[in-house]
Amino acid sequence: MLDLAWIRAHADEVRRGAERKGIAFDVDALLALDEERREVIQLQEQAKAEQNALGKQVATLSGDSKQVALARLKQIKESVKGHTGRLQPLQAEIETLLYACPNPPADDVPDGKDDSANVELRTWGEKPTFAFEPKDHVALMQDQDWLEIDRAGKLGGSRSYVLKGDAVLLEQAVLRMAMDLIVGRGYTMLSVPVIVKEWALRGTAYFPGAEEQTYRIANPTADDEDFWLVGTSEVSVTALHGGEILDHEQLPLKYAGISPCFRREAGTYGRDTRGVYRVHQFNKVEQVVIDVSDDAKSRAHHAAILENAEAMLQLLELPYRVVAVSAGDMGRGARFKYDLEAWMPGRGDWGETHSATRFREYQARRLGLRYRDAEGKVRHCHTLNNTVIASPRVLIALLETHQQADGTIRVPEALRPHLQGREVLGTASEA
């Protein structure tokens, strides 16, 4: 969330930021509640001061004077109680609005309502050309008996899948290569809970807003909150130090979480539902950086985590492009966001494989994630995250790009050590 004092001083920026993101938010309502709250606090403090002063006088009084003073003390106590009663709902309303207040996008974020306004910054690699009629990932995997869709649907409903045989080994090889790459770049691997309490999702800015996309696990114990399945290990990794005050010498923290991820994908239709592009369960290696409150360092980290992801796609020999995400497509919490999109021949288009986001203090303030600087002052951290790799979506690009005329799949050279040196996967067709 944003600092309320900062919102007071930058109301126009907050108002404009919400408009750019296409998120309805009433800044004036928040400021009016804040003004009312400050007035009540002032009245409460005045009443307490009078109460303290009169309390000291009572001991020196007697007779009628003492009775008058005691009666006044009773009135003041009721007044203080009344102010406290007004403050509680005001604080709750303000907190609700603060959680809903979007982080203004940076000035260099492109304007636009959705992903159609995203701006291509650069591309890498050449789109493949084929001397044969290429197949999409569904046909390729079904020809090799690597994919079950219908049977998976009986188990888990629509958008479920079963990988089989070499497809499983390929997925695990890609995940392992991603871990090797990110550990080699100084990140600490974490295997984290995928079942979390609601505060972690609120703290990382998924709530409010993404409730309908998140699987809820009802808690049978009436006196405890429900749990939720994470859509990314970013939630667990970023919230790991929630409520803590770190020492500046501990920073930056560079983590990479590996976990299964779960998303309901409510309301999504069309071509994205074919095969394994948009599914309910997938696996991901996610990089998270937690550092001091410094915009220059945040920008440097953002460039670094983006480069990590690009290195992964380059090792997989997958053509891709980097886009700057438009204000209307970047979500409530993001300050700036890049997407990486790999070329997917079966779609004849780019498909998103990575999202690299910086938040400044937005997540950390919600999580109570702080550090003590060299002068001893407590500040909120800056946080960033990006995918290292997510599967099975990356398998779409990998299989379709490296398919061969006989239906087999060429294994990129960097991936071969994770597949026992195999250069080709699958059995050649008899055509």
Tell me if 199 is assigned to some domain: yes
Distances in Å between the alpha carbon of 110 and those of 116, 285, 346, 395?
11, 28, 29, 30
Rounding to the nearest 10 degrees, give the CA dihedral for residues 420, 422, 426, 430. Answer: -140
Tallying the residues shown for the chain, one arrives at 431
Q: Which residues carry out catalysis?
A: 263, 278, 352, 355, 393
Q: What is the pLDDT of residue 429?
A: 85
Instruction: State the pLDDT at residue 145.
Output: 96
* Residue 105 included in any domain: no
Residue 107 belongs to a domain? no
Q: 77 in a domain, yes or no? A: yes
Note whether residue 54 is domain-resident: yes
421 in the same domain as 309: yes
278 in the same domain as 212:
yes
Residue 52 has a pLDDT of 67
Query: Residue 140's domain spans which residues?
Result: 115-425
pLDDT at 358: 97
218 with 141, same domain: the answer is: yes
Give me the CATH number covering residue 252. Answer: 3.30.930.10
Residue 173: inside a domain, yes or no? Answer: yes
Sheet with 119-124, edge to edge strand ranges: 119-124, 320-324, 336-344, 349-360, 382-391, 281-291, 253-262, 188-191
Whether this prediction's pTM lies above 0.75 is answered by yes
In a domain, 58, yes or no: yes
Residue 70 sits in the same domain as residue 198? no
pLDDT along the chain (431 residues), means of 10: 95 97 96 89 72 66 69 71 78 94 97 96 97 96 95 90 96 98 98 95 94 88 82 97 97 98 79 84 97 97 98 98 97 96 96 97 98 97 98 97 97 97 92 57
- Indicate whether 68 and 126 sit together in one domain: no
Boundary (domain end) residue, out of 39, 73, 100: 100
CATH number for position 80: 1.10.287.40
The angle formed by the CA atoms of residues 293, 299 and 304, to the nearest 5 degrees, is 115
First to last CA, the chain: 60
Amino acid at 252: P
Do 387 and 316 fall within a single domain? yes
Residue 189 and residue 283 in one domain: yes
Beta bridge pairs of residue 324? 119, 338
- Three-state SS for 354? strand
Task: Classify strands 370-372 and 245-247 as parallel, antiparallel or unpaired.
Answer: parallel
State whether 75 and 142 are in the same domain.
no
Q: State the virtual CA torsion across 78, 80, 85, 90 in degrees, nearest 10.
A: 150
Overall domain count for the chain: 2
Rounded CA-CA distance 362/364 in Å is: 6
One domain for residues 89 and 136: no
Do 208 and 264 lie in one domain? The reply is yes
pLDDT at 266: 76
Q: Is 228 helix (H, G, I), strand (E, B) or coil?
A: strand
In a domain, 248, yes or no: yes
Q: Which pLDDT value is given to residue 76?
A: 72
Q: What residue has token string 């790799």?
A: 389
The predicted structure's pLDDT at residue 75: 74
Same domain for 50 and 185, yes or no, is no
Q: How many whole angstroms separate alpha carbon 61 and alpha carbon 388?
A: 74
Amino acid, single-letter form, for residue 143: D
What number of H helices and E strands is found in the chain?
12, 18
**What DSSP assignment string belongs to 373-407?**
-TTS-EEEPEEEEEEEEEETHHHHHHHHHSB-TTS
Residues 12 and 132 occupy one common structural domain: no
R_g of the chain computed on alpha carbons: 27
Cα 57 from chain centre: 57
Q: Torsions phi, psi of 338, nearest 5?
A: -105, 145
